[in-house]
Amino acid sequence: MATSDITMKPLGMRVKVLQVFRFVFASIFKIFCTLYYGKSGENFPPITADILKLPAVEVANKIRNKEITSVEVLEACKQRIKDINSALNCFVEDRFELALKEAKEADELIRGGTMTVEQLEKEKPFLGVPFTTKDCIAVKGLHHTSGVVLRKDVIATDDAVSIKLLRNKGAIIIGLTNVPELCMWWETHNHIYGRTNNPYNTTRIVGGSSGGEGCIQGAAGSIFGVGSDIGGSIRMPAYFNGIFGHKPSRHVVSNEGQYPMPQTELLNSYLGLGPMTRHAVDLKPLLKIMSGDNASKLDLDKNVDVGKLKVFYQLSSNAPMTDSVDPEITTALKKVVEFFSVKYKVEAEEKKFQFLQKSLPIWMTTMKNKEPFERLIMGKEGTTAIVLEIFKSLIGCSGNTLIGLFTALMDGAGAEIGSDKYNYHLKLRDDLEKIFVEMLGDDGVFLYPTHPTTAPYHNEPLVKPFNFSYTAVINCLGLPATTVPLGLSSEGLPIGIQVVANHNNDRLCLAVAEELDKAFGGWVEPRH
């Protein structure tokens, strides 16, 4: 079936009424948030160490060429974290003592001269470079809670595969960043470490579930970061915090060491670990390392001629129960389309895929796990147990977040694996994947909003819970996608888009990200 022939049934009256109710309620809630929080948040110091403003590849180059030591870079990160964390609450556990030992060893290796600069660049390209990762990705000797109170004493006994691969290439892990409870919400808050605040305005959210990581990268607290993404958990935090984040093609980067691990092959294909950085140029070398033996599938060293790409775009999903795309985001996307036209004479083709209206039900229905959600966060299961825990949460006596408990309720209400409804949405997903595969081929990219609004106020996602569908649907299709910052809104909050390519064509996303980084300025230092 040709993509132009795809049609959808009109929305039912019940859905239209719910849309109107949601819009009115969300509008009133935002007015309340504006009055409660005000327009400006808490201040923190500007970046004083210039090394923190550089791409990770440049930091690595300066370290191996003895222009700066690994210890000096580590100390700059430690000081920056000290400067920002009281205001942002993004960094939750350090391994500074071990990191200092590793930084000294890196500097001794370089001073010893047993390896040439060329050998170091080839064998340990990120030697001495400090980085961070989110709490749900295992780092040996550190807590591995995923924001779940039941896991507050769990210590990782080994590194996740991605962390191990990066450390083998010389990078130094310095600590963990905050996540939502069980990484299943797009505001970062849990009852172990609390809430994380946006570096561009601390009254706003950082996204989730890699929210702490997006925040620390946006505020320049570490040189690069590692996140994970099953419904937008890299791309939304990257977007809200003004940085680059890449969700790889399915089955490329190992999920081993992530908690919770998907219990079905379908869910495993949705989840992907990937790099989060302030500079687009860092994404490709980091992804190459994190992909391990699968890097050959991506052909990352193959040259990409951006001027010969086919470019497609869509301004909105028009999905029910989601916000309209902010005009400033639409304008930014159109400027990218114009950029391709002016610089490369590439005329982008606008799409209006009505199938994208089904993004949310496709993702939610096919996200079913074998183990009930409530068992993972409560240690018990059943609707009665969830309702009781919701009551306890409302009076401040629960270890679970309210949104975590509501998520458990929704999980129980979803279609059962193998049911007709479940199979129906799998079919929709398969049809949509075929449309994208046919359209993109090996030389196409799709430009699409990462999110319909700028970073909302704290708690505002509660009244607009389905806005994450813009990223979630890409996970369902297994496609690679990169969030690209495109400056700040009139309120001083980051805006941007995501760039999507076909399976294993991650290099196209990354090439476009680098091109747009140069053209539109990329990451902008938070100013207070």
Q: Can you give the three-state secondary structure of 123-185, one letter per residue?
A: HCCCCCCEEEEECCECCCCCECCCCCHHHCCCECCCCCHHHHHHHHCCCEEEEEECCCHHHCC
Q: What's the pLDDT score for residue 414?
A: 65
Mark out the alpha helices in 346-396 (DSSP H runs).
359-366, 373-378, 383-394
Rounded CA-CA distance 372/375 in Å is: 6
**Cis amide prior to 209 (ω within 30 degrees):** yes
Q: What's the pLDDT score for residue 410?
A: 85
Q: What is the mean pLDDT of residues 261-274?
A: 92
Rounded CA-CA distance 240/201 in Å is: 10
**Cis amide prior to 237 (ω within 30 degrees):** no
181, pLDDT greater than 80: yes
Looking at domain 62-298+310-368+414-520, its CATH architecture is Alpha-Beta Complex (3.90)
99: part of which helix (H) or strand (E)? Answer: helix 96-112
151, pLDDT greater than 90: yes
Q: What's the pLDDT score for residue 8?
A: 53
> In DSSP terms, which residues pair with 172 in a beta bridge?
130
Rounded CA-CA distance 435/440 in Å is: 9
6, pLDDT greater than 60: no
**Is residue 512 a contact partner of residue 482, using CB atoms and an 8 Å limit?**
yes
The predicted model scores a pTM of 0.96
Q: What's the pLDDT score for residue 3?
A: 40
How distant, in Å, are the alpha carbons of 73, 105, 171 from that of 56?
A: 11, 19, 10
138, pLDDT greater than 90: yes
Query: How many CA atoms lie less than 13 Å away from 256 in the CB half-sphere?
Result: 13
pLDDT, one tens digit per residue, over 363-408 is 988 887 778 899 999 999 999 999 999 999 999 999 999 999 999 9
Spell out a b/e string for 193-216, using b for 16 or more CB atoms within 10 Å of the CB, else e. Answer: bebbbbbbbbbbbbbbbbbbbbbb
485: part of which helix (H) or strand (E)? Answer: strand 481-488
Residues sharing a CB contact under 8 Å with residue 458, sequence separation 6 or more, in sequence order: 33, 37, 187, 195, 197, 203, 204, 205
* DSSP letter (8 states) at residue 65: T
Residues sharing a CB contact under 8 Å with residue 44, sequence separation 6 or more, in sequence order: 83, 84, 86, 87, 88, 199, 219, 528
502, pLDDT greater than 50: yes
Rounded CA-CA distance 447/439 in Å is: 13
Rounded CA-CA distance 225/217 in Å is: 7
Q: What is the mean pLDDT of residues 486-505?
A: 98
Distance of CA 189 to the CA centre of its chain: 15
Tokens of 107: 């500097």
Q: Which residues are catalytic, by number?
A: 134, 209, 233
pLDDT, one tens digit per residue, over 212-238 is 999 999 999 999 999 999 999 999 999
Q: Which amino acid does the sequence have at 352?
A: K
CA angle 207, 209, 214 (to 5 degrees): 55
pLDDT band at 413 (very low <50, low <70, confident <90, very high): low
Rounded CA-CA distance 110/126 in Å is: 12
Torsion of the alpha carbons at 486, 488, 494 and 496, rounded to the nearest 10: -20
What long-range pairs does 40-44 form, CB within 8 A, spacing at least 24? 40/201, 40/203, 41/87, 41/197, 41/198, 41/201, 41/202, 41/203, 41/204, 42/87, 42/197, 42/202, 43/87, 43/528, 44/83, 44/84, 44/86, 44/87, 44/88, 44/199, 44/219, 44/528
pLDDT, one tens digit per residue, over 438-476 is 999 999 999 999 999 999 999 999 999 999 999 999 999
Q: What's the pLDDT score for residue 4?
A: 38
Q: What's the pLDDT score for residue 232?
A: 98
**Is residue 204 a contact partner of residue 198, using CB atoms and an 8 Å limit?**
yes
Nearest C-alpha neighbor of 178 from the set 87, 77, 89: 89
Residues sharing a CB contact under 8 Å with residue 317, sequence separation 6 or more, in sequence order: 356, 357, 359, 469, 470, 473
Q: What's the pLDDT score for residue 528?
A: 67
Rounded CA-CA distance 57/124 in Å is: 12
Nearest C-alpha neighbor of 142 from the set 128, 159, 130: 159
Rounded CA-CA distance 229/234 in Å is: 5
> In DSSP terms, which residues pair with 247 in a beta bridge?
481
